[in-house]
Structure 1
Amino acid sequence: MNLDTFDDKGFVSLFDGNSLTGWHPAPRIYGTVRPGGPHLLDMFDERGIARPVEPEKHPAVWHIENGYIVGEQEEPGCGYGGYLVSDDTFADFELVLEARPDWPADTGIMLRRKRDSWEGFQVLLDHRESGGIAGFFGNGLASFSAVPFAVVSKKDAQGRIIGLTADDPATSVEPVTQEKIDRLSYAADVNDFLKVWRWDDWNEIRIRCVGALPVITTWVNGLKIAELNTETLDSPDYDPAAVLESLGNRGHLAFEVHDNDATFGEARWGTGAQCRWRNIRIKDLGETEVPA
């Protein structure tokens, strides 16, 4: 297992350690399933899934504590999620940050996100049973899933959670299929990931995003985890031309507090769970022009 080394010159901070200057909270509201497609709430209706009740009135809570950002549900166990969105937009960049999520806390980092809707590329930080970490999901982009592996909790003899271990696709509530792995141009081995992940501690996540339809690469604590080419991605109903038209070649960053949906409930975000963020910094890599 080889860990990558990086040139950390040229980064600028996106968090001053004392305030949310440069960021704003946004509730977890939905748009279309894909550019030009049906609205997600209409699909909820078709499938008999209850719509969230006025989620726009229940954003997640974000505050500063001991020099880091804390994200949590508005009230512990309320079930409503939300985002912390960057005021600025970014095109091609390298983003580095440290995260410390509780268990279970289904969070993530959005790239090229629209300001007032949910569309964007998401780097997963699904710190929960059968969760994917540092893989990808397409919010409002045909819900594509491209992940190298999933994890579950590891317990001691008394049943206390003491770390992570590999998910078993045969018993998984959200199995990683070969199809999901094959969407990646690079996929790390879960056992290598487990060697570098720090349980109940801070973990460094690095994301490189380059191109109008970007190639997105992720690292955790120096280990390359996954790489996705969103221009050549093959997934049901995913249309790269429509995605580029919808998102353009730049967008907002965002951190997520997930809601408790009908599938996972509190297994997705536990009562009182938090995710913490610090040392958030970015390097501008220019701007790829959108083809005429």
Structure 2
Amino acid sequence: MSPEAESLPNSVSIFDGKTLSGWRPVPRTFGAAYPGGPSIMDALDLIGMDKLEIDIAGPIVWEPEKNAAVWTVEDGAIVGRQNFPGSGYGGWLVSEKTYGDFELVLEAKPDWPADTGILLRRRADDWAGFQVLLDHREYGGIGGFYGNGLASFSALPFSIRSVVDGDGAVIGIEADDPATSLDPVTDEKISRLSYAAKAEDFLDVWRWNDWNEIRIRCVGASPVLTTWVNGLKIAELDTATIDSPHYSPEGVLEWLGPRGHIALEVHDNDPIMGEARWGRGAACRWRNITITELGSEGALA
């Protein structure tokens, strides 16, 4: 645990290390692109692909409600995998309880590639929420933010790519190069943040193929979100000031409310990235999950 996490009193464990009590698995279903907007499936033209094109490109999950990720407890950690390996079907593990203002601390150990994250203020019956990114893959962001069902806004300070040895095996990560990246971090994505760490500083603290501590602070009705990795501040975002097409702070607050569930993610695969998004047989592991509920001004409740 980082010094910041250790100093917090009144932390409560929300994972007992043995069972999934207090959590429920749900399929990775999709809702509206943004509050009051069209469904994701109806909005496919926004990415220039119709259903026929995607079917040809495949695979994509057209009936996710019939499939879900596999969640187990192994060696004191929650483990999430696609069901079945290589199927492309992801899912969520959602907390039974809801939370308003809080600090969440957990340790994560993702395989490469594994596109995952932590969803905040998630609705009980919808995919919408603020996602803290843990995209441990090519062009992935770690510690930044994404708007699930919230106009797909993207706010992150940097992205990463793999380092390979002479045999082509991935042996670590380095900063992605915006000039060659398929999904570069643009000035627009960075400018949405009120604080943005440098990739070099992140790489100094990230532990390859090991456990990494993620700390998240969420405060306010339209929350200010802050992330740390292994004690290093990564990003801060005031969601009331997001400037992104179709994003409305008032509409988001009305849709999500001031409280919501926490969810862990196993991403589905898609025609664009395929198994580069979630490798065949890959897993993400989570342990030592604690939460400290805060008052409206960020003080201990």
Please indicate the TM-score interval, normalised by the length of the shorter structure.
Answer: over 0.9
Normalization by structure 1: what TM-score? 0.95
Name the structure 1 match of 2:126.
117
**Cα gap change, 1:157 to 1:261, in 2 (>3 Å):** same
Answering whether residue 185 of structure 2 is matched by residue 176 of structure 1, we say yes
- The separation in 2 between residues aligned to 1:136 and 1:107, in whole angstroms, is 12
Q: Amino acid of the residue matched to residue 163 of structure 2?
A: K
Name the structure 1 match of 2:49.
47
Normalization by structure 2: what TM-score? 0.92
Q: Deviations over 1:84-131 (max 9, x none)?
A: 000000000000000000000000000000112110000000000000
Selected match of 2:282 from 256, 268, 273 = 273
Give runs of ≥4 in structure 1 deviating > 4 Å.
none
- The separation in 2 between residues aligned to 1:192 and 1:121, in whole angstroms, is 24
Report matched runs for 1:38-117 at 5 Å.
Answer: 38-44=38-44, 47-48=49-50, 49-50=54-55, 52-117=61-126
SS at structure 1 position matched to 2:147? strand
Measure how far apart 1:286 and its partner are.
Answer: 2.5
Q: Amino acid of the residue matched to residue 202 of structure 1?
A: W
Aligned-residue identity in percent: 65
Contact in 1 for aligned 2:89/2:268 (Cα 8 Å): yes
Measure how far apart 1:263 and its partner are.
Answer: 1.4
- The separation in 2 between residues aligned to 1:269 and 1:117, in whole angstroms, is 23
Q: Amino acid of the residue matched to residue 167 of structure 1?
A: D
SS at structure 2 position matched to 1:255? strand
SS at structure 2 position matched to 1:89? coil
Q: Amino acid of the residue matched to residue 29 of structure 2?
A: I
Answering whether residue 192 of structure 2 is matched by residue 190 of structure 1, we say no
Report matched runs for 1:200-211 at 5 Å.
Answer: 200-211=209-220
SS at structure 2 position matched to 1:231? helix
Name the structure 2 match of 1:233.
242
SS at structure 2 position matched to 1:263? coil
**Unaligned residue ranges in structure 1 (runs of 5+):** none
Name the structure 1 match of 2:24.
24
SS at structure 2 position matched to 1:163? strand
Contact in 2 for aligned 1:249/1:287 (Cα 8 Å): no
Contact in 2 for aligned 1:111/1:254 (Cα 8 Å): yes
Q: How large is the RMSD of aligned CA atoms in angstroms?
A: 1.3
- The separation in 1 between residues aligned to 2:202 and 2:268, in whole angstroms, is 26
Q: Deviations over 1:232-260 (max 9, x none)?
A: 11111110000000000000000000000
Measure how far apart 1:47 and its partner are.
Answer: 2.4
Name the structure 1 match of 2:10.
10
Q: Amino acid of the residue matched to residue 132 of structure 2?
A: V
Q: Amino acid of the residue matched to residue 105 of structure 1?
A: A
Higher helix share: 2
Measure how far apart 1:8 and its partner are.
Answer: 2.5
Q: Amino acid of the residue matched to residue 123 of structure 1?
A: V
Contact in 1 for aligned 2:27/2:64 (Cα 8 Å): yes
- The separation in 1 between residues aligned to 2:194 and 2:73, in whole angstroms, is 37
Contact in 1 for aligned 2:61/2:88 (Cα 8 Å): no
Q: Amino acid of the residue matched to residue 206 of structure 2?
A: W
- The separation in 2 between residues aligned to 1:261 and 1:141, in whole angstroms, is 20
SS at structure 2 position matched to 1:90? coil
Q: Deviations over 1:131-157 (max 9, x none)?
A: 000100000100000000000011123
- The separation in 1 between residues aligned to 2:109 and 2:290, in whole angstroms, is 16
**Unaligned residue ranges in structure 2 (runs of 5+):** none
